[in-house]
Amino acid sequence: MVIQKEKKSCGQVVEEWKEFVWNPRTHQFMGRTGTSWAFILLFYLVFYGFLTAMFTLTMWVMLQTVSDHTPKYQDRLATPGLMIRPKTENLDVIVNVSDTESWDQHVQKLNKFLEPYNDSIQAQKNDVCRPGRYYEQPDNGVLNYPKRACQFNRTQLGDCSGIGDPTHYGYSTGQPCVFIKMNRVINFYAGANQSMNVTCMGKRDEDAENLGSFVMFPANGNIDLMYFPYYGKKFHVNYTQPLVAVKFLNVTPNVEVNVECRINAANIATDDERDKFAGRVAFKLRINKT
């Protein structure tokens, strides 16, 4: 076959192509007559129209099986993950104390992140709940009754609240605050009715040494039960996620420090081999000082 093709001259090939595109004898365009093309187009119009309808129908039927306020299955979310703020590339918190720009973006992000926690907003939207117990809001017969959220005031974050803070969450002084948050999971009763808290440490011994001392807000890294359970974004509109702020006071400068924070709660395993963020979060901290 190949050999035969090679035998044809270039002109012949062009001629054949021309004839293929428009054959004046048979009135064929690209090997088909007008009627044939019309049939083809009509056929595919009908056929693909039908397939689209079929797909839409099956998708609609499928979506009927999932509810609006809770997902059908939560088997993958048995252990909520932990995450830090500021959210940085590869979770590397690098602060060049003298280089304002290096940390300013973090500060901007944090400002934005913490804005909903402002006491005024919290007071306006959320309830003051009783600490130490879950804030359960059963539907009581009313389907999908909107849920209230508990207040988490920015001032609870103490030195890390950033309110009236000239050090910009400590970034300008090399004593940065890192905020730990736990992933929201609907209807998850974190802590199993016992108090829980977040603890941080250096990953290895030298990390622990380099890490130095730190303070946590709220004290002890406590997370109160009243912020649970979460009822989903549709009905738990103003839900405010509890935070734990960690202020690193004297990190050895110019060294990369691996920090790991984990939650100590009765019903949250933190030793999942595959999921490195289940109940814990690891990040790198580096304070560059000249």
Smallest gap from Cβ 201 to other proteins, in A, equals 19
Smallest gap from Cβ 258 to other proteins, in A, equals 14
Which region, judged by CB under 8 A, interacts with other proteins, from 62-70, 94-102, 165-173, 246-254? 62-70
Give the CA-trace dihedral at 137, 139, 141, 145, to 10 degrees: 120
21 part of the interface to other proteins, by CB under 8 A: no
147 part of the interface to other proteins, by CB under 8 A: no
76 part of the interface to other proteins, by CB under 8 A: yes
- Binds other proteins (CB under 8 A): choice among 232, 243, 246, 251: 232
Give the x-and-dash track for 164-203 against other proteins (CB under 8 A): -----------------x-xxxx-----------------
Which region, judged by CB under 8 A, interacts with other proteins, from 54-62, 113-121, 217-225, 246-254? 54-62
Report the DSSP beta bridge partners of residue 150. Answer: 127
Smallest gap from Cβ 80 to other proteins, in A, equals 7
Smallest gap from Cβ 247 to other proteins, in A, equals 21
34 part of the interface to other proteins, by CB under 8 A: no
**Between 172 and 188, CB nearer to other proteins:** 188
234 part of the interface to other proteins, by CB under 8 A: yes
- Binds other proteins (CB under 8 A): choice among 40, 53, 192, 269: 40
- Binds other proteins (CB under 8 A): choice among 59, 123, 128, 192: 59
130 part of the interface to other proteins, by CB under 8 A: no
Interatomic CA distance for residues 216 and 163, integer angstroms: 16
- Binds other proteins (CB under 8 A): choice among 65, 120, 213, 290: 65
Interatomic CA distance for residues 241 and 191, integer angstroms: 15
17 part of the interface to other proteins, by CB under 8 A: no
Task: Calculate the alpha carbon distances from 155 to 16, 64, 218 in Å.
Answer: 81, 44, 9
55 part of the interface to other proteins, by CB under 8 A: yes
**Between 92 and 209, CB nearer to other proteins:** 92
What HEC string does the chain produce? CHHHHHHCCHHHHHHHHHHHHEECCCCEECCEEHHHHHHHHHHHHHHHHHHHHHHHHHHHHHHHCCCCCCCCCCHHHCCCEEEEECCCHHHEEEEECCCHHHHHHHHHHHHHHHHHHCHHHHHHHCECCCCCCCCCCCCCCCCCCCCCCECCCHHHHHHHCCCCCCCCCCHHHCCCEEEEEECCCECCCHHHHCCEEEEEEECCHHHHHHHCCEEEECHHHEECHHHCCECCCCCCCCCCCCEEEEEECCCCCCCEEEEEEEEEECCECCCCCCCCCECEEEEEEEEECC
Q: Which residues of the shown chain bind other proteins in the complex (CB under 8 A)?
A: 1, 36, 39-40, 47, 51, 54-55, 58-59, 62-63, 65-66, 69-74, 76-77, 80-83, 87-91, 181, 183-186, 230, 232-234, 236, 239, 272, 274-278, 281
